[in-house]
Chain A
Amino acid sequence: MSIKKLGLILLVFWISIGALSAQTGFPQNGPKDTRPDYVALVHASIQVNPTTLLKDAILLIKNGRIENVGIDIAIPAEARTIDLHGKYVYASFIDLYSRYGIDYKPSNTQRNEYQNNQNGAYAWNDAVKVQVNAADYFDYNEKESKRYLAAGFGATLSGNQDGIFRGSAALVLTGNESAQKLVLKPKAAAGMSFNKGSSRQNYPGSAMGSIALIRQTYYDAAWYLKQKEEISLSFEAFQTLKSLPTVFEAENKLAILRAAKIAQEFQIKYILKGKGDEYQRLDEIAQLGMPLILPLNFPKPYEVENPFDAMRINLADLKHWELAPANAGLVSQKKIPFALTLEGCSDANEFLKNLRKAVYYGLNQSEALKALTTEPAKMIQASADLGTLEKGKIANFFICDKPFFDKESQIEEHWIRGNQEILQEPEIVKLIGNYEASLGLNQKASLQITKKGNKLEGKWMAADTLPISITEKAGIYTLNFKENKSSENLIRASVWVKQQDKNTLQANALEGTAQMPNGSTIPFSAKWVSVQTEKERTDSLPALQLGKIIYPFTEYGTATLPKATTVLFKNATVWTNEKEGILQETDVAISNGKIVAIGKNLSIKADQVVDAKGKQLTSGIIDEHSHIAIYRGVNECTQNNTAEVRIGDVINSDDINIYRQLSGGVIACQQLHGSCNPIGGQSNILKLRWGMAPEQMKIAGSDGFIKFALGENVKQSNHGFPSNRFPQTRMGVEQVYYDAFIRAKEYEKKMKANPALTRKDLEMDALVEIMNKQRFISCHSYVQSEINMLMHVADSMQFKVNTFTHILEGYKVADKMKAHGVNASTFADWWAYKYEVIEAIPQNAVILNNMGVVTAINSDDAEMGRRLNQEAAKMIKYGGLSEEDAWKMVTLNPAKMLHLDAQMGSIKVGKSADLVLWSANPLSIDALAEMTFVDGVCYFSREIDLAKRKEILAERQRIIQMMIAAKKKGEKTEKKISEIDNDYHCDDF
C-alpha cells in the first residue's frame, strides 16, 4: 500500500467518524468534532443525468446534498476544491432488489404444519409476513457495502426477501454511517413473491397454492377493514403497504405473467423482478404496462466437450447462454421501463463486466444509465433525492478514471451523502518506459519497465538481456535480476522515484541501492528516455450474430408462429364421429380455423391441398386426464380441500410434452390437479397451441372444472410415512364432502344476505359454483363403494358429478352411474399398481359404454398421452367394441364430458378445425399422426418435424462450438445438466 493510499483511507475514516460524531442527540465520547463538508469538485466530466454529460464542470456539495452543478458556476471561497481533471462523475446507481444490510433471521420452529407458528396476532399463514419491516433489521454492513459501492450502487431497496408477502422494504444508502443516516425511507416499497421462503407451514405447497394465497390475502385484507370480529397485525400492516410500490419477485418470464394477472385482478401494479429471460416472452410482457427489474447474471459457457454429457443440456439453456446478454437491450427496445439489479452477480466485477456486455449486445448507454438511476428512482418515488446529479439531490455519485462504459474504466471513488470512499487507488506514478540505468559507476544498461496485467516487470539489457522481477511495497520497488546469463546469482535493488512529471505522472528519474551477489552495496540510478508503447489489446469483441428467439423457447419452437390457412384434404377416409360414420374418398376443407366443407370433389381455393388418398382424417384426440404443461406442483396436498387453487394459473407453455402430444394426434387436454386431496384444485382445458403464451392456450368461454379424488391417495395410504391429515379412511372422505358443501351453502346464504360484511372465500366460491352447476367435477375414483358414495353426496346437494376419472371399478356400478348421469374417463388396461385397483379389468370402458355412460380413455401420463389411439384400440380387442365407438372414446366422448362437443370432437361443418391426418387406420399400431391441426393451424407434421430436428442439431452445434471457443479464450465455464420437463402424474407431490 502506498503512503498516498493509506492517507486517503485514513481520510475516509476521518470523514466517517466526523459524520457519526455529528449525530444530534447521540452522546459523544470526546470533544465535538464537526468538520467542514463544503466541497467543490472541479474540472470533471459530469454525467448529470442519463442523457447529459457536462465537460470541465463543477459539482458543489454541501451538507450531503448537491448545492449546484454546472460549468460556469462560482466556487465559494469556503469550499474545499478537488481537481478531477480527466475524471468522470456519475450519479450513484439504485438497486431495487436487494438484501443489503438486512440482518433478518426468521424463526424456523414448526409446531403445527396446518397453522401458523409465530407468536402474535398475525395472519394464519406464515408466508404472509406483511408485518415485517426490513428497516427494523437494517444496519451498515462493511463487506456488502464494498460490493455495492464497487458496482456503482449508492442506494438499495433492501428487503427481507423472504416469504410470499414480504412486508416492507427500506430505501437505504450503501455508505458508512449510522443506520439513522442511511435509511432514506423506512417503508419505501412492499415485497412479494410466489416462494413461501422460510415458512415451515405446509400451505402453500405449490405455485398455484401461492397464487391462491395471494388472492385470498388481498380479499381478506379488504374485508378486514369492514369487520369487527378480529384483530390482525398483518392486515393492519397491510393497509400501509397497499399504498406503496410493490416489488414482486417473479422467478421467470411466465411467473411475470402470472404475477401481472394477479395485479390486474386487483387493479394494482407491481414492479416485476425477473430472471433475465424476459426476451423469451417479450410481447406479452410489454403489454402488461408494468416496470421490470432485471438481473445481469449471465450464464457462463457450459462444459460441452463431451458430446454424451452435452446431450443433457437442453436447447433452451444453450440458447439462453447466447441470448441472456441481449435481454436488457431487447426489453429496452420494447420501451418497457426497467431497472437493473446487482442481485445474482457474485461480485461487482461480474456486474460491471456484464453491464458493459449488455451494452455491447444492444443496450443503449443512456438507457442503461436510466435503468440504474432515474428509472428505479421513479419506480419507488425517490426521484426528489436520487437518480441524477441535479441541484438539491443527495450527493451520491462515483468517479471513474475513464468513461464508465469503457472496458478499462475503473470506479475509483464513491461518494455517499457527500462522504468520500476510495475504492481504487488512482495511479500516482507511471513507471513504465525505457530508462538508461547505471549500477555504481561502471555498469550501464538499458532498463525497460513494462506492465503485464497489474504486474510490473522489466528487462535489464547490458551484455546479456536479463528479465527483472519487480515488486512494490510502500512506494519502494524491489528489482531482482541475474548478474549475467550464465549465473544463478541475483542482483537485488531497492529503487524509488526521484523525480516525476506532475501532469503525466511519468517517473523521470529513479534512484536506489543495489546489493551485489558478492555482498557489496552500490548505488542504482535510472533516467527515463522514452515511453514504452503498450501493446494494443486485441481481444476486441466480435460482431454479433445472435440466434433466433423461438416460441416456445425450447426444442421444436419456431421464430414465427404458424397461422391458420385454408387447407383442402383430398380423398381421405374421413372419420366423422357423426351419423355419417366413416366416409371413403372424401374431401374436407378448413378455413379460418373452422371446418368449412365436407364432400366429394370439393373445389375450394386453398392455400394448401393435401393429397390424403390412402390416409385417414379424424378429429383430434382430446385427453380428459392429463398433467402436462404444469409449473411447480400438480398437487396442492397440504389441506384436504384446496378448491381455491387453479391449474390455469400455472400453465407451462414451454413444456416439450405439448409438442410430443401433438405428434400423437392430441389437440387438447384437461390439465387436472392431482389426487392428493378429496377436493383438489380447479382444472384447465388446454388447447395445444404450441408456441403461444399460457393465457392464449386456454379455451375461451369453456366451462370450469375441478378435480375431486377418492381412495388411497386422499387417505395418504401409500405415503410411506405417518400422516395425520384428515381423512385417513373412506369414512372420513365422505365427511370432508358433507362438511365442505354444507359450509358452502351457509357461506352462499351469508354472502347473499350481507355481501359487504361476508369474507370472500375462494375455496367456498368454487364449491358454490359446483352446487349452482357453474363448475363441474372430474373425480379420481377406483372402487365401487366410493363411487357410489360421491354420487349420494352430489344427489343430496342437488347437483351431478360430471365425470368419474380412472373409475376402474365403474363396471360394477355402471347402472348407478347411468342413472346419476355421470361420464366415465378411464384407463384402457392399467391395474395392480395399488390395492384399490386389483379388480380393474380392461373391459371396464366397454361395459360402461354399452350401459350408455359416455366413456373416454385417458392417459394421466405424458408418454401414454401420445398413444391414446392405441389405448382406444384395446377396447376392440378386450371388449369387441366397434372401431367407431372406440375412436369416439378419445375424441367425441371426452369433448362431451368437457362440454366442448358443440365445437370439438367430430368432423362437422362449423366445428373447430382440430384435425389429424393418419398414415393408416388410426386405431392400428401402424398409424402415425402425419399432421395435427389445432384451430386450423398445422402445429405438427412429420415433414416439419424432420426439418426442425435438423435445425435443432445445427443450432446446438453452432452454440456448442461458440462455447468451446469461449472456454479456449479463458472464460470460466459452468457444469450443467438441464432440468427435465416435469412428467407429472396424479399422485406426484
Chain B
Amino acid sequence: MKKYISLMSLIFWVWAAMAQSPTTVILNGTIHIGNGQVIEKGVLVFEGNKIVEVGKEMKTLYKNARVIDAQGKHIYPGLVCMNNIMGLNEIDAVRATLDFNEQGRINPNVRSLVAYNTDSKILPTSLINGILYTQPVPQGGLLSGTSCVVRTKAWNWEDAAVSSNDGVHLNWPFVEPNQDGKENQGEKDIQELEQFFAQAKQYCSQKSPEFNAKLDAMRHLFSGEISLYIHAQDAQSIIRSVSFFKAKYPELKLVLVGARESYLITDFIKTNQVPVVLGNLHRLPAYNAEDIDQPYKTPFQLQAAGIIFAISQEGSWETRNLAFLAGTAAAYGMSKEEALMSITLTPAKLMGVDKQIGSLEAGKNASILISEGDLLDMKTCVLVQAFLDGQELDLKNEQVQLYEKYKKKYGLK
C-alpha cells in the first residue's frame, strides 16, 4: 500500500503535466478479467492500444503514466456480441435501411463486413453499455453469408474489422414435426444443402476449378480456418445437422447458433464438442410444456454439462441489453463471472479473435470498461469511462445529448 501511495503521487504529478500519456494505469477497481477470474482492488495498465499488465499489484514502474482511480468501481473487458445485425439495419420498418438479407437461398459469398455501417445511430447506444465488438451476421436463406468481427466505433469498416471473415452462416432447415419425410420442404432444403456441400468440397479440392463465387466462399471452411455457424433451434435439427457434418465433413469447425433446445440434448452436444451461441434469452418459453423460466436457465444447464457457450443478443437496437441477458443467466444459476465470460472471452474464442479481445489480459487490445457497479445488472450498469483499443470513448451519444437538451429546456437537474 505504501508503494502505491508514493507511486500515485509520482504519476499523478506526471499525468498533470502530460495529458496525452501513452501509458494508463487503472487502480483500486474490481477487475473482472472475463475468463472467470476477479481481482479485487487490482491494477491494470495499458500502453497505446495494448494491455501490458493486470494484477493484484503492479510489477513495473511506469513513468509519465496517466492514473485512473477506480476505487469502488468495476472494470470489465469490452463486451462482445455475437449473432447480431447492428450496422446492417437501421430502422426495422424502413426497407431502405435494411442490409442483412440478400436475395436467394445460397449466398455464402456475401460478406457482412462491406455493408457494416459504422455511422449507424444504433451503435453508439450499445457502446455506452459496453458493447465494443459485434458480429454482423447475414440472415435468411439456407446459407446466408459470411460474418465478421467488428468494433462498434470506427471511421469505416476497414478500421472496424477485427476479423474480416470469421465464418459462414447456415440456417439448418426445420423439418416440421409429424409430417411425412419426402414432401416436407425442410427435407428438400436439407437435400439441397447436402448436395451443395458435396459440390463445394469437390470444388475446393480441385487444383484449378472454373471459378464459382459461392463454392469458392466455402474454401476457408474446409481448411478449418473459419467456422461453420449452424443456426438451429430445435433438438432434432441440432442432432441431425451436427451428425451430418461430423460424419461427412469432420474437418469443419462447427458452432451452433440459437440452440433453443440445446438443454434437452446436452450429452449429445458435449460428446460432439460443439460450442453453442445461445440466442436471445429474454423470450417466452417456446411452448407450454417448457418451464416458465426455461429460457433464463438454459445457460446454467449448458454450463453444468460442460458445454462451451456464448450468450448473444439478436437484432440491432436491442443489443444494448446484452449484459442483462448474462445478468439473467446469473440470476438463474450461473456465477456472475461465468456469465460475464459468455459475453466476453467465450465469444472472442468462438470467433477466433481471443488473442486480441475478450478479456483483460496482457497483450490484448486495451478495450476496457469502468462501471459504477455490476455491469450485468441494469440498476448499476453505468459506465463512467471506457476505452476501445486504448482510445477513450465519448459516452455521450445522441440520446444523451437529447436528454441534456431537454433537461436544459425545462430547467431540470
Residues of A within 8 A of B316 (CB): 832
* Contact present for B321 and A833 (CB under 8 Å): no
Q: Which of A16-24, A86-94, A868-876 interfaces with chain B?
A: A868-876
Confirm or deny: B53 has a beta carbon within 8 angstroms of a beta carbon on chain A: no
Q: Which residue of B lies closest to A878 (CB)?
A: B403
Known: A659-B292, A832-B90, A981-B288. A877 touches B380 (CB 8 A): yes
> What is the minimal beta-carbon distance from A310 to any residue of chain B, in angstroms?
8
* Contact partner, A663, options B122, B293, B407, Cβ 8 Å: B293
Confirm or deny: B92 has a beta carbon within 8 angstroms of a beta carbon on chain A: yes
B74-105 CB mask vs A (1 if < 8 Å, else 0) is 00000000000000001111100000000000
Q: Which of A118-126, A283-291, A764-772, A840-848 interfaces with chain B?
A: A840-848
Known: A831-B317, A834-B92. A847 touches B288 (CB 8 A): no
Q: How far is the CA of A492 from the CA of B197 in the complex (A)?
A: 62
* Contact present for B93 and A835 (CB under 8 Å): yes
Residues of B within 8 A of A870 (CB): 324, 378
Q: Which residue of B lies closest to A831 (CB)?
A: B317
Q: Which of A241-249, A514-522, A584-592, A920-928 interfaces with chain B?
A: A920-928
Q: Which of A109-117, A427-435, A733-741, A811-819 interfaces with chain B?
A: A811-819
Confirm or deny: A443 has a beta carbon within 8 angstroms of a beta carbon on chain B: no
Residues of A within 8 A of B92 (CB): 832-834
Confirm or deny: B19 has a beta carbon within 8 angstroms of a beta carbon on chain A: no
Residues of A within 8 A of B253 (CB): none
Interface residues of A in 316-335 (CB under 8 A from B): 316
Confirm or deny: B328 has a beta carbon within 8 angstroms of a beta carbon on chain A: yes
Q: How far is the CA of A942 from the CA of B121 in the complex (A)?
A: 41
* Contact present for B399 and A841 (CB under 8 Å): yes
Q: How far is the CA of A924 from the CA of B249 in the complex (A)?
A: 46
* Contact present for B407 and A832 (CB under 8 Å): no
> What is the minimal beta-carbon distance from A710 to any residue of chain B, in angstroms?
16
Residues of A within 8 A of B330 (CB): 925-926
* Contact present for B399 and A842 (CB under 8 Å): yes
Confirm or deny: B358 has a beta carbon within 8 angstroms of a beta carbon on chain A: no
* Contact partner, B91, options A833, A924, A975, Cβ 8 Å: A833
Q: Which of A45-53, A574-582, A701-709, A859-867 interfaces with chain B?
A: A859-867
Confirm or deny: A712 has a beta carbon within 8 angstroms of a beta carbon on chain B: yes
Residues of A within 8 A of B292 (CB): 556, 659-660, 663, 945
Confirm or deny: A829 has a beta carbon within 8 angstroms of a beta carbon on chain B: yes
* Contact present for B284 and A862 (CB under 8 Å): yes
Q: Which residue of A lies closest to B92 (CB)?
A: A833
> What is the minimal beta-carbon distance from B409 to any residue of chain A, in angstroms?
8
* Contact present for B178 and A975 (CB under 8 Å): yes
Q: Which residue of A lies closest to B284 (CB)?
A: A863
Known: A308-B177, A308-B236. A834 touches B287 (CB 8 A): no
Residues of B within 8 A of A556 (CB): 292
Interface residues of A in 921-938 (CB under 8 A from B): 921, 923-928
Residues of A within 8 A of B177 (CB): 306, 308-309, 312, 977
Interface size counted on chain A using CB atoms at 8 A:
70
Residues of B within 8 A of A839 (CB): 402
Known: A833-B317, A873-B378. A314 touches B289 (CB 8 A): yes
Confirm or deny: B320 has a beta carbon within 8 angstroms of a beta carbon on chain A: yes
Residues of A within 8 A of B286 (CB): 980
Confirm or deny: A656 has a beta carbon within 8 angstroms of a beta carbon on chain B: yes
* Contact present for B410 and A815 (CB under 8 Å): yes
> What is the minimal beta-carbon distance from A336 to any residue of chain B, in angstroms?
29
Residues of A within 8 A of B289 (CB): 311-315, 555, 952, 956
Known: A851-B410, A924-B377, A925-B327. A314 touches B264 (CB 8 A): no
Interface residues of A in 687-720 (CB under 8 A from B): 712, 717-718
* Contact present for A847 and B403 (CB under 8 Å): yes
Interface residues of B in 285-323 (CB under 8 A from A): 285-293, 316-317, 320-321
Interface residues of B in 381-403 (CB under 8 A from A): 381-382, 399-400, 402-403
Confirm or deny: A108 has a beta carbon within 8 angstroms of a beta carbon on chain B: no
* Contact partner, B288, options A555, A841, A842, A851, Cβ 8 Å: A555
Confirm or deny: B345 has a beta carbon within 8 angstroms of a beta carbon on chain A: no
Residues of B within 8 A of A815 (CB): 410
Confirm or deny: B282 has a beta carbon within 8 angstroms of a beta carbon on chain A: yes
Confirm or deny: A757 has a beta carbon within 8 angstroms of a beta carbon on chain B: no
Q: Which residue among A303, A555, A864, A921 has the maximum number of chain B CB atoms within 10 Å of its CB? A: A555
Interface residues of B in 171-198 (CB under 8 A from A): 177-179
Interface residues of A in 785-844 (CB under 8 A from B): 811-812, 814-815, 829-835, 838-839, 841-843
* Contact present for B403 and A843 (CB under 8 Å): yes
Residues of B within 8 A of A847 (CB): 403, 406-407, 410, 412
Q: How far is the CA of A841 from the CA of B287 in the complex (A)?
A: 33
Known: A829-B321, A834-B91, A956-B289. A925 touches B399 (CB 8 A): no
* Contact partner, B178, options A314, A850, A867, A976, Cβ 8 Å: A976
Confirm or deny: B68 has a beta carbon within 8 angstroms of a beta carbon on chain A: no
* Contact present for B264 and A841 (CB under 8 Å): no
Confirm or deny: B379 has a beta carbon within 8 angstroms of a beta carbon on chain A: yes
Confirm or deny: B283 has a beta carbon within 8 angstroms of a beta carbon on chain A: yes
A interface: dominant SS: loop
* Contact present for B91 and A308 (CB under 8 Å): no
Residues of B within 8 A of A834 (CB): 91-94
Confirm or deny: B235 has a beta carbon within 8 angstroms of a beta carbon on chain A: yes
Q: How far is the CA of A309 from the CA of B403 in the complex (A)?
A: 50
* Contact partner, A314, options B125, B288, B381, B412, Cβ 8 Å: B288
* Contact present for A877 and B381 (CB under 8 Å): yes
Residues of A within 8 A of B400 (CB): 841, 843
Q: Which residue of A lies closest to B235 (CB)?
A: A308
> What is the minimal beta-carbon distance from B383 to any residue of chain A, in angstroms?
10
* Contact present for A925 and B403 (CB under 8 Å): no
Q: How far is the CA of A867 from the CA of B380 in the complex (A)?
A: 16
* Contact present for A983 and B284 (CB under 8 Å): yes
* Contact partner, A308, options B264, B377, B378, Cβ 8 Å: B264
Q: Which residue among B316, B374, B406 has the maximum number of chain A CB atoms within 10 Å of its CB? A: B406
> What is the minimal beta-carbon distance from B350 to any residue of chain A, in angstroms?
24
Q: Which residue of A lies closest to B402 (CB)?
A: A841
Q: Which residue of B lies closest to A815 (CB)?
A: B410
Q: Which residue of A lies closest to B93 (CB)?
A: A834
* Contact present for B399 and A877 (CB under 8 Å): no
Known: A815-B410, A841-B402. A978 touches B264 (CB 8 A): no
Residues of A within 8 A of B14 (CB): none
> What is the minimal beta-carbon distance from B90 to any residue of chain A, in angstroms?
7
Q: Which residue among B283, B289, B399 has the maximum number of chain A CB atoms within 10 Å of its CB? A: B289
Q: Which residue among B92, B376, B377 has the maximum number of chain A CB atoms within 10 Å of its CB? A: B377
Residues of A within 8 A of B122 (CB): 832
Interface residues of A in 873-889 (CB under 8 A from B): 873-874, 876-879, 883
* Contact present for A309 and B331 (CB under 8 Å): no
Q: How far is the CA of A949 from the CA of B283 in the complex (A)?
A: 19
Interface residues of B in 181-225 (CB under 8 A from A): none
Residues of B within 8 A of A833 (CB): 91-93, 317
* Contact present for A978 and B178 (CB under 8 Å): no
24 A-B pairs in the complex with CB atoms less than 8 angstroms apart: A306-B177, A308-B177, A308-B236, A311-B290, A314-B288, A554-B288, A660-B284, A811-B402, A814-B406, A814-B410, A833-B317, A841-B399, A842-B399, A851-B412, A876-B379, A877-B381, A921-B379, A923-B379, A924-B379, A925-B374, A925-B376, A925-B378, A926-B327, A977-B177
Closest 7 CB pairs of A and B: A834-B93, A309-B177, A975-B178, A832-B317, A925-B327, A843-B403, A841-B399
Other A-B pairs, 14, CB within 8 Å; known A832-B91, A851-B410, A980-B288: A308-B236, A309-B178, A313-B289, A316-B288, A660-B285, A812-B406, A833-B93, A835-B91, A873-B378, A925-B328, A925-B331, A925-B377, A926-B330, A975-B178
| Residues of A bordering B, CB below 8 Å | 303, 306, 308-309, 311-316, 554-556, 656-657, 659-660, 663, 712, 717-718, 811-812, 814-815, 829-835, 838-839, 841-843, 847, 850-851, 862-864, 867, 870, 873-874, 876-879, 883, 921, 923-928, 945, 949, 952, 956, 975-978, 980-981, 983
